[in-house]
Amino acid sequence: MPDPRIAGAGVTQFGKHPERTGRDLFADAGLEALDQSGVEPEDVDALYYGNFMGELAEHQGHQGPLMAEAIGIDAPATRLEAACASAGAAVREAVKTLRNGESEVVVVGGAERMTNIGTAAATDALAIAADDLYEVRAGMTFPGAYALMARAYFAEYGGSHEDLGHVAVKNHEHALVNDHAQIQSEITLDEAMEAPTIAAPLGLYDSCPITDGAAAAVLTTEEYAAEHDLDAPVVISGSGQGGDNLALQDRPHLARTPAAEKAAEEAYADAGIEAGDVDVAEVHDCFTIAEVLAIESLGLFDPGEGIHAATEGVTTRHGEMPVNLSGGLKAKGHPVGATGVAQLATIAWVLDGTHPRADAVPDGRVGVAHNAGGTVASTTVHVLEVRE
């Protein structure tokens, strides 16, 4: 079965929308995706929808049918939950159903509403993606967990908080022209270094913000796209998913993320490419150290080399391997259930030349999207390619 094509995508402005419901946000993204695609709503065969904390933030479960109704489609709708990788898991299911011939047109997306419950409650809600018995009850939150991973990385490979600061500076600069981004302001390295400590060695600018938002994409079979003369040059050629022990203490090491390595290996094999073929990447940088771990797990850098990538300018928009041209979770924002599809949209727009940072890879043909859940206990990786 030929690879699914991305016929259209929609992303809301990420940020604080406490007055809006999740269904309102998803309607904006989903209807934009349908309009951009040229697909009629009655042609949609299924909806796969990512959401993590709907029960806690909106007292709303069973969101799949709700979101289908919000965008005017009458099709089976399934919500998927894999913590921060919920939307990536939804994309994977959409790819499988299109490849196996079960569907011709699928809407995939996600949304999260978080700011309405406040920072403390949102932090508590996010923490349930960790091991409640052995981590959460001991006071673990994700800033603390990623701080432990950063310390383990520094101990094993070297590097410094200043190297992480360069990741933050880069991603803030990338987001300046992204109208969907929550934070469109530059920061200096000094500001990153002098920011309040959140969980040593991580400071305020090492952490992504709490975000409301939604993203959606319309995926079709190649045959449907050809029959309906759709402008859909970007395909999803590879899909992979990996897993790991949920709790950090149950892992053999903290300075690598095997779930992402497994997902990348599967996605590359599926697409018939190697890491060296990748031109651009969107990775899950919920904390600056997470970007370092991600680019190493994707094979874009050897273990111990990713920490210097931003410092040396390699992952900037002027570098050889641009990473997070959207601004990443760090500056674009992280509405948990939407992030994986927002990454997909960014890569598609970069490859087809319509993203404001597309000039960073004018001849780019291959992109990769890396979406991780928790402390990377769940990971999806998708390879996108341009095929006219």
pLDDT of 2 reads 86
pLDDT of 278 reads 98
Give residues with Cβ within 8 angstroms of 328, minimum separation 6: 171, 174, 175, 208, 282, 283, 285, 291
pLDDT of 25 reads 98
pLDDT of 301 reads 98
**Helix, strand, coil share of the chain (percent; to 5):** 45, 20, 40
Give residues with Cβ within 8 angstroms of 105, minimum separation 6: 7, 39, 43, 44, 45, 218, 219, 220, 221, 224
Provide the total of helices (H) and of strands (E) in the chain, helices listed first.
13, 11
pLDDT of 168 reads 98
For residue 131, give both structure tokens. 């091991």
Q: What is the mean pLDDT of each run of 10 residues along the chain (388 residues)?
A: 94 96 98 98 98 97 98 98 98 98 98 96 96 95 97 98 98 98 98 97 98 98 97 98 97 96 98 98 98 98 98 98 98 98 98 97 97 98 95
pLDDT of 388 reads 78
User: Catalytic residue numbers?
Assistant: 84, 334
Contact (Cβ atoms closer than 8 angstroms) between residue 265 and residue 231:
no
Strands 280-282, 366-373: pairing is: parallel
pLDDT of 320 reads 98
pLDDT of 188 reads 98
pLDDT of 94 reads 98
Q: How far apart are the first and last CA of the chain?
A: 17
Map out the domains of the chain with their CATH numbers: 5-117+209-386 (3.40.47.10)
Q: Hunting for tokens 């030349």 — which residue is that?
A: 353
